[in-house]
Structure 1
Amino acid sequence: MSLDPQTPFALARYREGAGTRLGLVVRDRIRPLDADELGAAGLNAFLAAPDWDRLAGLVDDAGEWMPLADVTLTAPVEPRQVLQAGANYREHVIELVAAGLTNNSDRTPEEAREFAAKMMDDRAANGEPYFFIGLPACVVGDDVSLVLPGYSDVHDWELELAIVIGRDAFRVSREDALDHVAGYTIVNDITTRDLVFRKDMKEIGTDWYRSKNAPGFLPTGPFLVPAPFVDAGDLTVQLDLNGQVMQNGSTSDLLFDIPSLISGASQTMPLLAGDLLLTGSPPGNGQHWKRFLRDADVMTGTIQGLGTQVVRCVAEVPTA
């Protein structure tokens, strides 16, 4: 594992005994960061007013550098809140809507797709982002295997670009939104498909708590890449399952771009330093392929410039 050669440095957290330490990553090596070097009491305090120039000065420092291969990385963030944007990739949503229309009306696939495309373009022009919340306790590194709960056989993947909030954001404008971004990371938003909609009372609608918040359902990282190093408007997002490409999209296909998401999410509740704001997932999840996660599956998620995470799946062991 190594950082993209085009990325000068990034932050990561790694295991040390029973705890974790914050580290500075350059290419294939890492060194610990203490509070004095960071200029802040901890990660979230630093992200509230990130001084990337301060860390740049440590890149060539003869500190305690270690090979990345010799440490165990974990989630690079400690969010207090996790917000997720739903139905935010144009092509993905067109596929879903068109499939539903084709199955439930007399429209041809071409007519259904044209209708769905017009719907999405109208939503982008006149609508608002759709958000729901996740539990920060679900955020783990890819050092933790993904345990597939035994109550379902339809656990799905959704690889996403995640915004890491810097300076607190409350009711910010779209024009000022990027001033509140500290960096970006990778999140795989795992979803149990048969729990998304309530069966006992359909009028209630979606049940994101049960479908998205089992332990470990937000594999995150491995790196937190500073915002100045990322052109987040056009990044390749790719997920491979056991070596086969399943998702391969670009953030240029977002219905609501990153400034719109930050501004929209901040209108209700302040976004705090270190919080995660997921931007949505491109086409190609398990629901599309009719193939869901199984014991021993390996998901390899890569976002251009942000590194690669490798998540290994294991079946839940029944309790006696």
Structure 2
Amino acid sequence: MRFARLGPVGHEIPVVVDGDVAYDIRSVTADIDGDFLASGGAARAAAALAAGSLPVLDDAATLRRGAPIARPSAVYCIGMNYAAHAAESGSLPPENPVLFLKPPNTVVGPDDVVVIPRGSEKTDWEVELGIVIGSRASYLDSPEEALTHIAGFVVANDLSEREWQISISGGQWSKGKAAPGFTPTGPWLVTPDEVDHGALRLRSSVNGEPRQDSSTADLIFSVETIIWHLSQYLALEPGDLVLTGTPEGVALSGRFPYLGAGDVVEIEIDGLGRQRQDVVAFEGARS
């Protein structure tokens, strides 16, 4: 199944997307969040769809596409999880998963405008496979057990400010990852039965020019390994978002310019949908 949230910021309508039709599931849930996922909401929505009891959201095509999950309690990110990206970053492939965090307020809709942070000169793009947690995962016994805790997968753009991430980071990456809106997510939350998460093609482009083109088959640490590994150190909660790393082809490589006002970023993952973001300059005082 494909779940989405459509409408203005803070007033998104939860829907299930079947073909080109969006069905309103507010009779099943107020939102697509951790409670919905943990309580068997996907199965209830599927049953309602099969019974024909869900109304069509007639104006769906005209509505803003929000992130397909409501604000998660945490956004966990795995760094340098493709060997070629580690190399273009000047690092050897890691022996253990590299973990950093992004604030939940970085999660926005897949087509929302990207604002270059004030003072930034090195804003970068990163197409990534995102994992949405469906049930609490703590001290899992094996990677194989991880799949039972996954609600689905999403496209995510792990936007980064490289100067802040690397040069003035103090040794931690999150400073360069934390600007509001720095994790465009969606358009859909796709349940695991719909895709082969181990062999998904990821692509990005800037102003129509190709940048990244790879496959999740090239992940150093698989989806299952990531969830199992994280569960040894923290408790993953329903609705949490886990980003799995980006392939080569980012501006950090030195082969491409960093993002500037007027640029258009497009990213996609086969089976999970496509994003498009207009990049604009920061304006206004701090609030």
Higher-Rg member (1/2): 1
**1:22-37 superposed matches below 5 A:** 22-34=14-26, 36-37=27-28
For the residue of structure 2 that corresponds to 1:133, the secondary structure is strand
- Contact 2:111 2:275 (C-alpha < 8 Å) held by counterparts: no
- Contact 1:190 1:212 (C-alpha < 8 Å) held by counterparts: yes
**1:263-302 superposed matches below 5 A:** 263-288=228-253, 289-302=255-268
Distance (whole Å) between structure 2 residues aligned to residue 278 and residue 300 of structure 1: 18
Q: In the TM superposition, what is the alpha-carbon distance from 1:68 to its structure 2 partner? A: 3.4
Greater helix proportion? 1
Distance (whole Å) between structure 2 residues aligned to residue 59 and residue 296 of structure 1: 41
What is the match of residue 75 of structure 2?
A: 82
For the residue of structure 1 that corresponds to 2:12, the secondary structure is strand
Q: Please, what TM-score do these two structures have when normalized by structure 1?
A: 0.81
Q: 2:33 aligns with which of 26, 34, 43?
A: 43
Amino acid in structure 1 at the alignment position of 2:208? G
For the residue of structure 2 that corresponds to 1:11, the secondary structure is strand
Distance (whole Å) between structure 2 residues aligned to residue 175 and residue 192 of structure 1: 35
Q: 2:273 aligns with which of 275, 285, 307?
A: 307
Q: In the TM superposition, what is the alpha-carbon distance from 1:186 to its structure 2 partner? A: 0.9
What is the match of residue 150 of structure 2?
A: 181
Q: Please, what TM-score do these two structures have when normalized by structure 2?
A: 0.90
Q: 1:217 aligns with which of 173, 182, 189?
A: 182
Q: In the TM superposition, what is the alpha-carbon distance from 1:28 to its structure 2 partner? A: 2.0
> Given the superposition, is the C-alpha separation of residues 17 and 182 from structure 1 closer, same or farther in structure 2, using an over 3 Å criterion?
closer
Distance (whole Å) between structure 2 residues aligned to residue 268 and residue 254 of structure 1: 21
> Given the superposition, is the C-alpha separation of residues 237 and 50 from structure 1 closer, same or farther in structure 2, using an over 3 Å criterion?
farther
Amino acid in structure 2 at the alignment position of 1:174? P
Aligned residues: CA RMSD: 2.2
What is the match of residue 5 of structure 1?
A: none
What is the match of residue 91 of structure 1?
A: 84
Distance (whole Å) between structure 1 residues aligned to residue 208 and residue 60 of structure 2: 23
- Contact 1:141 1:219 (C-alpha < 8 Å) held by counterparts: yes
Mind listing any 5+ residue stretches in structure 1 that lack a counterpart?
1-8, 101-115
Give deviations 1:216-237, integer Å, cap 9, x for gaps: 0111111101111121000000
- Contact 2:138 2:235 (C-alpha < 8 Å) held by counterparts: yes
Mind listing any 5+ residue stretches in structure 2 that lack a counterpart?
none
What is the match of residue 220 of structure 2?
A: 255
Identity of aligned residues (%): 35
Q: Count residues in correspondence.
A: 281
